[in-house]
Amino acid sequence: MSAETPQQQREVNIPIGDADLEGILALPAGSIGLVIFAHGSGSSRFSSRNRYVAQVLNQARLATLLFDLLTAEENEVDMVTRHLRFDIPLLAHRLTEVVDWTAGQDETRGFRIGLFGASTGAAAALITAADRPDKVRAVVSRGGRPDLAGAALPRVRPPTLLIVGGEDEVVIDLNRQAAAALQTEHLVEIVPGATHLFEEPGTLEQAAVLARDWFLRHLQ
């Protein structure tokens, strides 16, 4: 974080029905919007990739909320069974509840909201965007599975950016199929040389800049 962009950052507890989800809320001075992250399968609010993207967004005065889609107990079970990470309706329901929660908090009330989804989290983000068109103003998917949003895709209204690695051939095809079902402004961006996790030098940085510029365009 640069000296020109001071920020507040704190842990938050988000009550969702009978579950309490842990999150990290970062509020740069003069924040101009809020981006809520939906992590991918087997990940958490501590995802190094999402935290890097969040830092890039914070430097552009975008507030961020990274949170766990599963409770600690659920995550322990999922590490063995691997079934909850692919329960898209559950993940989407929880993300939608978190969007509603931010609208009721003094710190985040009134912000235009963007959603950033990775892997299966991208499908959850698109379903939430379809269900909350009055609150969600933009969506970005990185290495996502937007195809898993299924019947929700034609209902998505916020502008949607799908970022895919150039070496992630199967996921490129799935993203193009999902894009064909979208009936809103959308763009598929291919990052050359990147595989699914954007581990190659410079590729995650490119994805973060694409996401930042998309959110700045649509949340200001």
| pLDDT above 60 (res 186) | yes
User: In 10 A of CB 172, how many CB atoms?
Assistant: 16
The verdict on residue 57 lying in a domain is yes
| pLDDT above 60 (res 3) | no
Distance CA 28, CA 142 (A): 23
pTM (predicted TM-score): 0.93
pLDDT of residue 1: 41
The verdict on residue 1 lying in a domain is no
Provide the domain count of the chain: 1
Range of the domain at 23: 7-219
Confidence class of residue 2 from pLDDT cuts 50, 70 and 90? very low
Q: What is the CATH number of the domain that holds 74?
A: 3.40.50.1820
Inter-axis angle of helices 48-59 and 203-219, nearest 10: 50
The verdict on residue 2 lying in a domain is no
Residues of the chain with pLDDT > 90, as a percent, come to 79
pLDDT in tens, 52-86: 999 999 999 999 999 988 877 777 775 666 666 67
pLDDT of residue 5: 56
- SS3 for 11? strand
